[in-house]
Amino acid sequence: MKNSAPNPKELDRFLRSLTECVKNNLIFFPIRHHSPACAWHIQQLILTEKPAVILIEGPADMTELIPFMLHERAKAPFAVYTTYIDTAKRLGELPEGNSLSSDAQRFAGYYPFCDYSPELVALRVGASVNAKLEFIDLTFAQQAIASHKHPNLDRATQTRALLEESYFRRSAYLTALAKKTGCRDVDDLWDHLFEANFQTTSTSSFIQNVAAYCFMARLDSPEPILETDGTLARERAMASAIQSIIQSTQQKIQPAEKILVITGGFHTVALPFLQESIQPLPKLILKPEEGQTVLMRYSFEQLDALNGYGAGMPAPEFYQRFWQELQKGTSNPLLETANQILVEIGNKTRAQTAGTALSTADAIAALEQARRLAAFRHHQAPTREDLLDGIRSCFVKGAMDGEGTILMSLVRQMLTGDRIGDLPPDVGVPPIVNDFREIARRLRFKIDTSLPQSLTLDIYRKVAHRQASRFLHTLHFLEIPFARIVAGPDFVQGRQLDRLQEVWEYRWIPQTESSLIERSLYGTTLETAAVYLLQQAIAQLEEMGKSRSALEAVRILLSACCMGLHAHTERLLDLIATNIAEDPAFISLVDAVSQLVLIWQSREPLEAHDLTQIPALSAIAYRRLCYLLPDLSNCSEEEGMGVLGRFGTVLELCQSDSTAFDPDLFYDGLHHLLATPQSHPTIAGGTAGILYRAGLLSESEIVTLGMGYLQSSIGSSTGRSPAGTSGQITGGAGFLQGLLYTCREVAWNVSRLLEAIDAQLQVWDDDEFLHVLPEFRLAFADLTPRETDKVAAIVAAFYQESDRQPELGDLTNRHFTEADLQFGLRLEQLLTESLQHDRLIR
């Protein structure tokens, strides 16, 4: 098929080819994935024709999973999850600058099934008539190679749906047809043409109509694009498989027996024309570590097309109920489905404490409105859009963007549903998935719904809660999308440590189990996988050479404690001791000591009582960081404020009850740091502030140091620095910034320092003053308004006592009129609109 205007002759030729195939006992059935109408007609066709062979679009290696899909314990929705890891470099090397964390491209795909999926219906009904069942598409690895061998495509890790129907949504023809028929979009068009009245249409006519629909949609898709994304390769593979099966079964089946081919309608358009010219494709042999294909549970939430799954029908709960009514033989299944949903929506609104409670009369009115709309649109009964229109017109009492938003959100949840499938225990799911399920059920986690759940854990007093916390921390460490901590002590990051309880939010999603399947490479249980990754992290730290980080080693230890992996901490304690001795970074050592102290203080919830080496390691790290203090004179500008913040942390350690942290060691190191020539100004100021607070530096010494840094800014004997220079001029400001950061009370207690600053400001000319002004403002920026008033009063007193400045009087202007106020408000509004227009503010 080539990109061209619709050609009725080509369409006629295509439809005749379908008829010719039927005469040769080969039936092509074009479908829309997850369409109840297609599923119902397939059911009728199989029961009537009883085909000997049923061939279905889907990766060929899924055929071995068919017995599990048909197992009596299998409950839809479920999905086939398949992966491909290009360790053999079949796609070549990764492009430069690729963000992948490994050196192999990784691909993953989902093939979802629900009760009304035509493919699953074909398997179930086909098995009942003893048909041979087989999937005929390229394997997922072959699809990945076919669609990613083109250099212009993004070659990052991808996870995708294998039943993509995006071409229909992009079809200009279908979009125009939807507009002409008064449908909102292509989904509404499909319902209007096929889902509304399919029971009154013969199966042969239904096949012809769907085929024509798909034929016209495909005319918008140029062959080069279809070649690039792998569509044509897949179709050649399916055609080859069909031909091979025809040849292999000619001697095994009776001439009158039929072969049924079920594929997405987009592919059916091409398959009848490929039968004679396709050669069998070579098989791709993969090693076990290169890919896997397994069954997993799925949910309606992920199946919903409105959530981004392009092949899905929107509102799966609606169609599930419709399908169930079809199977019951209900005389008007669409009407019954609409009635059920309206009643339940009314019940839910009455159960809510907020919002509008809908009455039975409201439900009756909405149902009648939906029926009248369906009749007006020539529908046998209310379709999904007919029902939604009835809801909008009869249930929404107020504005659609107010009350309507809340109500339609409830309707959306109702139509989507929260069903999660199940699988037989012998389905072959990796053991790590079963381990997750067993632990979750033992700890009473709700994993049979995709609705968000909240959980509060008293980790200090309840053993069961502590076990649940370990379970969640293990999943977080393994990067399994299941839960996130909302509040509570974060021992790794050192936040909210005053809280006694952890508050988590969790929900099961299909990616939960698919991620677990990926982690099955690392172990058969959550614990063994976590231990493996823990050991990998340790090995990476051990391979870093001399520049080792004590903090990273301690964080790994904390993670191990949070996960309950205390039996694997001995190697970590040895690593921490080694890294402490070799870590050259003051900030890393301070944070490491702080974390070690935290572990020991929190040994009850962390159950770290047996890690008796921690106090000794803390003392060693403390002595090491005190030894490194003089080296801070050369620290970078970016590290300056970080170092000052760690000074406060060390002071807190010195003031604790522990005898391991001798304050004299810290103060001696600070004295050496302050005495270092050409010390970093900010670090020097912070050091002076701490020593002054400790009574180890007098006011006179503070003033002398401050004047020294300020006067060094003058430069040459001329009393000026070159215009535009900043190195020395900002040294005084840097000293003040560090001093006030660690000892802000100096600003109002040592007036001589303020006099020195004021005198220095008199020396600089205007250019020099304007150049240094931002730095000086930053130095005083952390003072509170009350503290700023104290400093201002002292400085003002200098001028009042010396008569250098006349009395300024009352600086508050109260002579503003209402017109001035309105002008100011209007000016502010215009300024805000201008900034928003330029995207400078939100």
Which residue bears the tokens 């701490």?
A: 690
* pLDDT of residue 261 exceeding 90: yes
Tell me, what amino acid is at 510? Answer: P
* pLDDT of residue 716 exceeding 50: no
Tokens of 393: 């017109």
Check residue 317 and give its pLDDT.
93
Indicate the range of 37-41, 384-388, 535-539, 812-816 predicted with least confidence.
812-816
Angle value at C-alpha 392, between 389 and 396, nearest 5 degrees = 165
Q: Where is 326: in which H helix or E strand?
A: helix 316-328
Calculate the CA 27 to chain-centre distance.
43
- Helix 463-477 to helix 431-442 angle, to the nearest 10 degrees? 150
CB 635 within 8 A of CB 686: no
| Rama region for 428: left / alpha / beta (φ>0; ψ in -120 to 50; rest) | left
CB 334 within 8 A of CB 381: yes
**Once rounded to an integer, what is the mean pLDDT over residues 791-815?**
68
pLDDT classification of 809: cutoffs 50, 70, 90:
low
* pLDDT of residue 37 exceeding 90: yes
Indicate the range of 169-178, 238-247, 635-644 predicted with least confidence.
635-644
Check residue 98 and give its pLDDT.
41
The larger pLDDT score, comparing residue 292 to residue 92, is at: 292
Phi, psi of 669 (to 5 degrees): -65, -40
What single-letter DSSP state applies at residue 357?
P
Check residue 717 and give its pLDDT.
32
pLDDT classification of 793: cutoffs 50, 70, 90:
confident
Strands 291-297 and 502-506, bridge-based pairing: unpaired
* pLDDT of residue 702 exceeding 60: yes
pLDDT classification of 65: cutoffs 50, 70, 90:
very high
| pLDDT single digits (tens) 641-686 | 888 888 888 888 888 877 778 888 988 998 888 888 777 888 888 8
| pLDDT single digits (tens) 535-568 | 878 777 766 654 578 888 888 888 888 888 888 7
pLDDT classification of 636: cutoffs 50, 70, 90:
confident
* pLDDT of residue 727 exceeding 60: no
Check residue 725 and give its pLDDT.
36
* pLDDT of residue 818 exceeding 50: yes
| pLDDT single digits (tens) 337-394 | 999 999 999 888 888 755 678 888 999 999 999 999 999 988 989 998 899 999 998 9
CB 650 within 8 A of CB 694: no
pLDDT classification of 277: cutoffs 50, 70, 90:
low
| pLDDT single digits (tens) 143-164 | 888 876 654 444 444 666 666 6
Query: Alpha-carbon distance 290 to 287, whole Å?
Result: 5
CB neighbours of residue 237 within 10 Å: 23
Check residue 154 and give its pLDDT.
47
Could you tell me which residues come within 8 angstroms of residue 105 by beta carbon, excluding any fewer than 6 positions away?
A: 85, 86, 91, 94, 148, 155, 156, 157
| pLDDT single digits (tens) 579-632 | 888 888 888 888 888 888 888 887 778 887 888 888 888 898 889 889 988 888
Angle value at C-alpha 751, between 746 and 753, nearest 5 degrees = 70
Phi, psi of 258 (to 5 degrees): -110, 155
Of 623, 633, 473, nearest to 550 by C-alpha is 623
Tokens of 69: 């899909």
The DSSP string of 492-543 is: TTTBSTT---EEEEE---HHHHHHHHHHTTT-SSHHHHHHHHHHHHHHHHHT
Of 139, 141, 122, nearest to 59 by C-alpha is 139
Check residue 561 and give its pLDDT.
87
**Once rounded to an integer, what is the mean pLDDT over residues 714-737?**
51
CB 468 within 8 A of CB 564: no
| Rama region for 286: left / alpha / beta (φ>0; ψ in -120 to 50; rest) | beta
Query: Alpha-carbon distance 59 to 234, whole Å?
Result: 10
Which residue bears the tokens 């492009």?
A: 95
CB 239 within 8 A of CB 268: no
The DSSP string of 110-152 is: EEEE-TT-HHHHHHHHHHHTT-EEEEEEPPHHHHHHHHH-STT
Angle value at C-alpha 740, between 734 and 743, nearest 5 degrees = 135
Query: Alpha-carbon distance 205 to 5, whole Å?
Result: 24
* Alpha-carbon distances of 15 from 51, 211, 267, 603, 730, rounded to whole Å: 21, 7, 14, 75, 83
| pTM of the predicted model as reported, rounded to 2 decimal places | 0.66
Query: Alpha-carbon distance 299 to 317, whole Å?
Result: 11
Phi, psi of 462 (to 5 degrees): -120, 120
Tokens of 288: 């076990």
Check residue 806 and give its pLDDT.
53
**Once rounded to an integer, what is the mean pLDDT over residues 493-508?**
78
Check residue 495 and give its pLDDT.
63
